[in-house]
Amino acid sequence: MSLWKPVASHKPQARRERQVASLRRFLAEQVLPFHPFYRGLYKERGLKPEHLKSFEDLRSLPLTTKADFLPTDTNPQGYRSFILQPTPELIREHWPKTKLAALLARKVIFGGEAVKEEIKLEYKPVLMTATTGRSAEPVSFLYTKHDIDRLEEAGERLLDIFNITSDDRVVNMFPYAPHLAFWQTALAGLSRGVLVLSTGGGKVMGTAGNIRAIDRMKPSLIIGMPGYTYHLLRAAANEEHDFSSVTKVVLGAEKVTRGLKEKMTSLLKELGSKDPLIFGTYGFTEARMAWGECPAEQGISSGYHTYPDMEIFEVIDPDTGEHVAEGEDGELVYTTLNARGSCVIRYRTGDIARGGIVTNQCPYCGRNVPRISSDITRLSNVKELKSTKIKGTLVNLSSIGEVLSSNKVIDEWQVEIGKRNNDPFDLDELVLNISLQQGTEREFAADRLKEELRLATELAPSRINVLPLNDMLVKLGMETEMKERRIVDNRPNN
Ligand SMILES: [Zn+2]
């Protein structure tokens, strides 16, 4: 945390120079010696850390994709080949003389065993989180004690950005799971000395149990997945609970739309909260940490505040792989700095940020760190739909989700993709299941929704089923699944 204040005040040019220097050192002392995947790849291409002189030179390093984590004939170890794996021989061969001399000095003072133990602590994985893809093979990312310290540091910074102090109390509703969101929250509390009650979410304690926990603990902040947190607030409002202590809600693990924030704000006001603030966060398994929005005016996102001493973000044109100009749309590319365990260099996140990254001083909190636009679309949410006999159409399911979750009369929604007539050789069809806010007229709402979707996504669902809320909650698995079933692809091979 001691580094955060100076880091958040660097000017853009100086910041980039520091980042490049830091990457050069990380490549020379950790990645090239100990990283099985990049060691081979960089050697094959004759890439050397000293070639990296400016930010633009990053382009000489090949991009890493999700496919690189899967075992293949040339890389049978898959994601395991992304873990730093030093041996005494590799250390002797690669570390600079000054670093080896320091190691030797410690050996003389503390003894060989102590130094061995120290190195083991630095490099031995102690925690694992995994990607959550339903259809894809899960990919694990490992943390050593060194990375746990980094995760705690990121947690402390997040709480600092949200203006949370050790006097605050937090209820954490992320599921108990090997997922980043849960661990980021739990460790943030530990590192900043904040009391955190982790309920495990709906699946563990049920919604009634979570509401009771909030009633008793009177937290100032609650944190969870957007869909579940909305469900909990709705249930609490229906039973007229008093959540006046809750002034902040942090949402993670999924995109948060402006419309959903507005719906949650009005529920929180019904529950007695005055001027509630709702923050979105962004994170992914491969980064092993998350970033957050700072308090801004209602309806405005400050963007996600990054930690430029712990990573490098680039924005590229997804087709050409070239850098785009500041503030332009593009795919986020992530490089870890000075980490251990599973490390990625120039990893293509598959996340398209509309508005890219900006580096001017944040007008809301004054911090000088690059901020990622919160308007992010995950490329894996873009699916090909064969809706005519002639060709397939690419459909961005995120934008459908945006329309549905922002709509004031829609309470819950689910998108189902299937085959017409249940025939595997027939065309694809898209069906919407929705439940409506009380007092909404069904026909009118369905017609308006069709029109809204057509305008926003050029897509017409084959059917809209209006269901009672309780049936929708069962369909979504709100109380039974780790993550609600928002988009269901029932097509064969999906
Ligand atoms: Zn800010």
pLDDT at 250 over 80: yes
pLDDT (tens digit per residue) in 398-431: 788 888 888 888 999 999 988 888 888 888 888 9
Q: Mean pLDDT across the stretch 300-304?
A: 95
- Axis-axis angle for helices 145-161, 180-192 (nearest 10): 80
- 263 Cα–ligand 1 center, Å: 23
What is the spatial distance between Cα 57 and Cα 323, in angstroms, rounded to a whole number? 11
Distance 305 CA to ligand 1 centre (A): 7
Long-range contacts of 276-280 (CB under 8 A, 24+ apart): 276/246, 276/247, 276/248, 276/249, 277/247, 277/248, 277/249, 278/248, 278/249, 278/250, 278/251, 279/162, 279/248, 279/249, 279/250, 279/251, 280/251, 280/252, 280/255, 280/256, 280/304, 280/374
CA 214 to ligand 1 center in whole angstroms: 28
Would you give the distance in Å from CA 331 to the centre of its chain? 14
Q: How far is the CA of 304 from the centre of ligand 1 (A)?
A: 8
Distance 369 CA to ligand 1 centre (A): 9
Tell how far the Cα of 303 is from the centroid of ligand 1, in angstroms: 8
Distance 211 CA to ligand 1 centre (A): 31
Confidence category of residue 327, pLDDT binned at 50, 70, 90: very high
Tokens of residue 333, six digits: 């590319």
- Kindly give the distance from the C-alpha atom of residue 365 to the centroid of ligand 1, in angstroms, as a whole number: 4
* Out of 122-131, 433-442, 470-479, least confident range: 433-442
Alpha-carbon distance of 175 to 225, in angstroms, equals 9
Measured in whole angstroms, the distance separating CA 377 from the mean position of its chain's CA atoms is: 12
CATH of domain 381-489: 3.30.300.30
Distance, CA of 185 to CA of 372 (rounded, Å): 20
How far is residue 471's CA from residue 115's CA, in Å, rounded to a whole number? 60
Tokens at 223, concatenated:
């944190």
Q: For 51-72, how does the pLDDT look when each residue is reduced to its tens digit (9 = 90+)? A: 999 999 999 999 999 999 999 9
Helix and strand numbers, DSSP H then E, in the chain = 15, 21
Site of tokens 């209820």: 171
Cα–Cα–Cα angle for 337, 338, 340, rounded to 5 degrees: 115
pLDDT band at 391 (very low <50, low <70, confident <90, very high): low
358 alpha carbon – ligand 1 mean position (Å): 12
Q: What is the DSSP letter of 234?
A: H
Average pLDDT over residues 330-339: 98
d(CA 452, CA 460): 10
Residues 6+ apart with CB under 8 A from 151: 143, 183, 184, 187, 288, 289
At residue 379, the pLDDT reads: 81
Percentage of the chain beyond pLDDT 90 is 70
CA–centroid distance, 307 to ligand 1, in Å, is 12
**Distance in Å, CA 279 to ligand 1 centroid:** 11
List, in sequence order, the alpha helices (H) in 320-439: 397-406
How many A from CA of 142 to the centre of ligand 1? 30
Neighbours of ion ligand 1 (CB under 5 A): 294, 302, 362, 364-365
Q: Which helix (H) or strand (E) holds 118?
A: helix 112-123
From ligand 1's centre to the CA of 280, what distance in Å? 13
